[in-house]
Amino acid sequence: MNMKRNDFSRRTFLKAGVAGAATISVPNLSWGQTPPTIKVGVLQPVTGTFSMDGGYGRTGAEFGIAHINANGGIKALGGAKLEMVFADARSNPEAAVQEVEQLKAHGVAAIVGGFSSPICLAASQAASRYNLPFIVDVGVSEQIVTRGLKNTFRFSPGFEICTKTAIDNLVTLNNAAGRPAKTIVLVHEDGLYGTGLAKLMAQELPKHGFEILDTISHPTPARDMSNVALRIRSLRPDLIVPSSYYAETVLLMRTLQQQRVRVKGVYSVLNGAASNLRFIDEFPQAAENIMDCNHWHDPRKQLALDFRKQVDVSKKGWNYNVPLNFSAIQLLADAIERAASVDPGALNEALASSTFEGHIMPYGPTRFENGQNTGAMPVVLQVQQSDIKVVYPHEFSDAKPNYPLPT
């Protein structure tokens, strides 16, 4: 997919998809004939627990579709435009399955999104009954790509890639600083995401010389983190590694700040708040210097910087979900272009053989193995002076890490 830097005008990104009829194949078009519209299902939880993340995901998809349409649509299908058919997963798997059925009834060519692991698991399974292509944006559970579903493609890295990368990067950063951190407390939400990550971290970190002093779980939503903070204070770890969603991480960091618990670093993994500008805007002191191994855009790609400026102008807010879903739409458009069809089988084959690299993520070319994009990789981020910077690896970084912190 060839995307030029000067394509990112305000008009380009604020346009919505063009309404029209769905199609399964496109015949040769006569001169002056209007190309058909290709419906794209966008499934995000915009109500309930995950509504903030779902809103960011929807924004990325909207801008992605507008960008494709403003640049001539799907050229292999006579300039066919993409039309978004949005479905609210309502932050629970059962609702997501119902929405997949509705999207199928609306004639979508594929579905993009899902966000949380339980939603992605249930929705992609439902879509598999129709061989309907499903591009997962975020969901990190390895079960998503280990069930042998030929319709499911995770564009972002999952648990195993993220955990291995997070550990390797932490070891590298700690060694480079003279190994100041030796003890760790893991804090995680008690669902599929947090429990899975904490288990993997507890297994792997001791192999690299770290001692796990405790693993502390909490519910989502959580109303109070006082006991968690008191436990951390009593253990006096060098590092805290939280794996939680937005509200719980904000509550934890604010409680640690109020109780004056100081550590050499907070190193999050796929955290819901550590890479969120809203946290920084609302509680800058609590957020400052928190690190996170997470999804983010590539700050060295001009395309990504131009896109972020356009989203800022729209006042819709920026989070990792935005560039991820923007890129997932580009990936789908590239597959439709190469397949020259929106037949489900042809699209699944095109996605499975993808080498797409026109995304705005810090990834290599897209290559799927058993539904997992092996070119995807998280990066280490840090809040510095009320902004989020990539601090590692160096080929993607736009700042140096502040580590260790004074205690």
Residue 173 domain flag:
yes
The answer to whether 54 and 45 have CB atoms below 8 angstroms apart is yes
Residue 143 sits in the same domain as residue 272 = no
Residue 277 sits in the same domain as residue 386 = yes
Residue 335 sits in the same domain as residue 206 = no
pLDDT at 30: 42
* Containing structural domain, residue 49: 37-156+299-376
The Cα-based distances of 141 to 46, 70, 233, 286 in angstroms read 21, 35, 31, 29
Average pLDDT over residues 400-405: 97
- Ranges 10-19, 321-330, 360-369: which has the least confidence: 10-19
Residue 122 sits in the same domain as residue 49 = yes
- Computed over every residue of the chain, the mean pLDDT equals 91
pLDDT digits (tens, 9 = 90+) for 78-95: 999 999 999 999 999 999
Residue 330 sits in the same domain as residue 276 = no
Residue 59 sits in the same domain as residue 117 = yes
CATH number at residue 147: 3.40.50.2300
Residue 17 domain flag:
no
Residue 168 domain flag:
yes
Residue 253 sits in the same domain as residue 333 = no
Residue 69 domain flag:
yes
pLDDT at 34: 63
Average pLDDT over residues 173-181: 97
Residue 372 sits in the same domain as residue 387 = no
Residue 49 sits in the same domain as residue 165 = no
Residue 18 domain flag:
no
Residue 385 domain flag:
yes
Residue 139 sits in the same domain as residue 57 = yes
Q: Is the pLDDT of residue 28 over 70?
A: no
Distance CA 234, CA 317 (A): 38
Residue 312 sits in the same domain as residue 282 = no
Residue 22 domain flag:
no
pLDDT at 163: 86
Residue 24 domain flag:
no
Question: Between 146 and 243, whose confidence is greater?
Answer: 146
pLDDT digits (tens, 9 = 90+) for 277-297: 999 999 999 999 999 999 999
Residue 166 sits in the same domain as residue 286 = yes
Q: What's the CA angle centered on 113, arms 344 and 78, to 5 degrees?
A: 45
How many domains does the chain divide into? 2
pTM: 0.85
pLDDT at 21: 33
HEC readout, the chain: CCCCHHHCCHHHHHCCCCCCCCCCCCCCCCCCCCCCEEEEEEEECCCCCCHHHHHHHHHHHHHHHHHHHHCCCEHHHCCEEEEEEEEECCCCHHHHHHHHHHHHHCCCCCEEECCCHHHHHHHHHHHHCCCCCEEECCCCCHHHHCCCCCCEEECCCCHHHHHHHHHHHHHHHHHHCCCCCCEEEEEEECCHHHHHHHHHHHHHHHHHCCEEEEEEEECCCCCCCHHHHHHHHHHCCCEEEEECCHHHHHHHHHHHHHCCCCCCEEEEECCCCCCCHHHHHHCHHHHCCCEEEECCCCCCCHHHHHHHHHHHHHCCCCCCHHHHHHHHHHHHHHHHHHHCCCCHHHHHHHHHCCCCCCCCCCCCCCCEECCEECCCCCEEEEEECCEEEEEECCCCCCCCCCCCCCC
pLDDT digits (tens, 9 = 90+) for 366-395: 999 999 999 999 999 999 999 999 999 999
pLDDT digits (tens, 9 = 90+) for 192-249: 778 888 998 999 999 999 999 999 999 989 999 999 999 999 999 999 999 888 899 9
Closest CA to 293 of 176, 178, 126, 159: 159
